[in-house]
Chains A and B, each alone.
Chain A
Amino acid sequence: MGPRWKGKGAEAKALADPMSKIVLKLQSSLIQSDARGILCGSSVLLAAEEEQALLFGRAYFGHPIVNADKDRQWFQLGMEEAFFLCYSLKCLKIAGEDKRLKDDQELWQCMKSKKAGFPVFYKAYSHLRTKNWVVRPGLQYGADFVAYRHHPSLVHSEYAVLVSSEGDAEANGRLKLWSDVHCTLRLCLGVVKTLLVLTISKNGDDDDSPSCLANYMVDERTVTRWSPEQSREEDTSDDVESQARE
């Protein structure tokens, strides 16, 4: 399965407007406005002025919240998104209910306590975002994330992403049974996505501080059903790999 662009010209549009540049613009906008978010349950809430709100939309971080605030657009960020803006892009500060800003260490502990396996999910998220893929929640496809080649208005998501962690029961516990493999691949076929499994190797047990992320290794594998009926003349399973290398 290759990228499925939405209409003619979408691919050219994407090429002319690289995602890395959009994220950079968002980053400098957030730094300039000294952006602050509020940790609220397992989300981070944040208000953006008009121009910044547009950048949030173009970089596709968070969901807009509909409310009566006429001056600013509110957004709700997931934990991985918020931590990425905080820790990797250093353009967002986050406060708890006491209104005091949390440092990286506090935020890390806080997110770990709210979501088991946060370190490996975050590694997977930041791994793809760092490669300039747009990463969104994958729950509606039964996955952890979905990954887009560019903005979802231009292209359908290419990968349903499952995060697996080597050696321990963290992450999602998925694909441990054949029935789950069949189920997941059947679903992926239906929604025209390739299943991408990111396996995180921690290389040590210490996850007290986010600096451990530097030791995490990410292994990327696609899982596909191989049909002997359709592959008699050439090995079509190679297609997935060659696409991924594009």
Chain B
Amino acid sequence: MTLCGSGVGCSAGVGGAGLSTVNPCTPAAVQDSPADGINSNIGNFQVTDRENYLGEGVIEGYSQKSNDIDEHEDHYASASSSKSQFRKVALKARWSDETGMAEVVDKRGTIWRTTGIVRSSKLYFSIEEVLFLIEIGALLLMDDGDISLSLEDMYVKISNGKHGCSWEEFQAYRQLKSLGYIVGRHGVPWSMKIVKSNHESVSSYGCRDNDEAVDLDSEESRSVFGLFNEMQIDEARLVFDVYLPNSKFRKSSPGDPSFVLCFTRGHPPSKADLEALERRCRNIPVKVCHVEQGGVSLFSFDKVELPILP
């Protein structure tokens, strides 16, 4: 068992206590994206035209039905489904504890179009990206010595939150990714090309200060995640930049995120927290995430102005 954030992971099988985490050990279904050209045996999933909008790595097996209120009720049903299907492994990457990232050594398929950051023509995955891809069976991970790293190894690694993403944050990441959203670490450029070619576009990232971007440029990817770790020790943290599902997404011109996903420590945000978050995100909407008891909830605290009625 791994104590991971405030939940306890357990690989003892579907019937164990606690919510079962969907991964290749506990059967649940994964739908191949049409982009991969493998679209067989979708099982009992509804195939609708919204599929066209799905990004890569879309899972339909979380039983997160559109009714967000009763979202927890059929986890067990889905976990016991025999119509499960996982991806054929398409990616290989090498994990480094030192950088807290995995360098992709063999990239096939299309997942990398919306996953990972590009630095000096190399592709790096963060720990949440690595874990998500292993969970859906799309990544083989090795360590420095070419020894294969298991899902369990990675659950242990994320449990201490040292690699820039906590277990709670990962759960939010997983939910959004499984619905086809494109999710990157807040303020970390997808690619350095844009920063080099167009300094103005830096501000369109939302909250990142210009000089940080320049630092990243010079120091390579090595220090990227450490840097943002340290930035996020205050009360409310900006964690992920989230883009709507978009098959035309380009890392070199990602545009503004649809919203920035924020986490608070323990309590709902105060007005002062919200104002601080909004200041840091300028014109990009803020959503606040609350993860507890295995459930991910997102909230908008939108400033409004009630009309003066006649």
Contact = CB atoms under 8 A, between A and B. Distances in A.
A226 B179 CA distance: 14
A206 interface: no
B274 A221 contact: yes
Nearest to A20: B310
Interface string B276-310: 00000000010100101000011111111111111
B292 to A, nearest CB: 7
Contacts, number: 125
Nearest to B67: A229
Nearest to A199: B271
Contacts of B50: 232-233
B268 interface: yes
Contacts of B297: 182, 225
Given A131-B307, A225-B297, A244-B304, A230 B66 contact: yes
Contacts of A240: 300, 302, 304
A149 B310 CA distance: 10
B65 interface: yes
Most interface-central of B285, B305, B307 (chain A CB within 10 A): B307
B73 interface: no
A245 interface: yes
A106 interface: no
Secondary structure class of chain B's binding surface, majority of residues: loop
A98 to B, nearest CB: 39
Interface in B257-274: 258-259, 267-268, 270-272, 274
A181 B302 contact: no
Contact of B303 (A132, A150, A219, A232): A219
A208 interface: no
B69 A186 contact: yes
A41 interface: no
A132 B300 CA distance: 26
Contacts of B302: 221-222, 224, 237, 240-241
A18 interface: yes
B304 A232 contact: no
Nearest to A219: B271
Contacts of A18: 309-310
Contact of B306 (A220, A230, A232): A220
A19 interface: yes
B68 interface: yes
B73 to A, nearest CB: 15
B180 interface: yes
B181 interface: yes
A197 B269 CA distance: 13
A228 B285 CA distance: 14
B310 A15 contact: yes
Contact of A177 (B176, B180, B267, B301): B267
A226 B304 contact: no
A149 B309 contact: yes
B271 A166 contact: yes
Contacts of A229: 64-66, 68, 179
Given A221-B302, A225-B298, A20 B258 contact: no
B65 A178 contact: no
Contacts of A199: 271
Nearest to B68: A227
A221 B299 contact: no
B179 A245 contact: no
Most interface-central of A147, A180, A181, A233 (chain B CB within 10 A): A181
Contacts of B180: 232
Contacts of A222: 300-302, 304
30 contacts: A19-B309, A19-B310, A20-B309, A133-B309, A176-B268, A177-B267, A178-B290, A180-B268, A181-B268, A181-B299, A219-B271, A220-B304, A220-B305, A220-B306, A221-B301, A221-B302, A221-B304, A222-B300, A222-B301, A226-B287, A227-B68, A228-B175, A228-B179, A228-B181, A235-B285, A240-B300, A240-B304, A241-B302, A245-B305, A245-B307
Given A132-B308, A178-B292, A241-B304, 12 more contacts: A18-B309, A19-B309, A128-B306, A131-B306, A149-B309, A220-B303, A221-B271, A222-B300, A222-B304, A235-B258, A244-B307, A246-B307
Interface of B: 50, 53, 64-66, 68-69, 175-176, 179-181, 244-245, 258-259, 267-268, 270-272, 274, 285, 287, 290, 292, 297-310
The 5 closest A-B CB pairs, nearest first, are: A18-B310, A132-B309, A244-B304, A226-B298, A237-B300
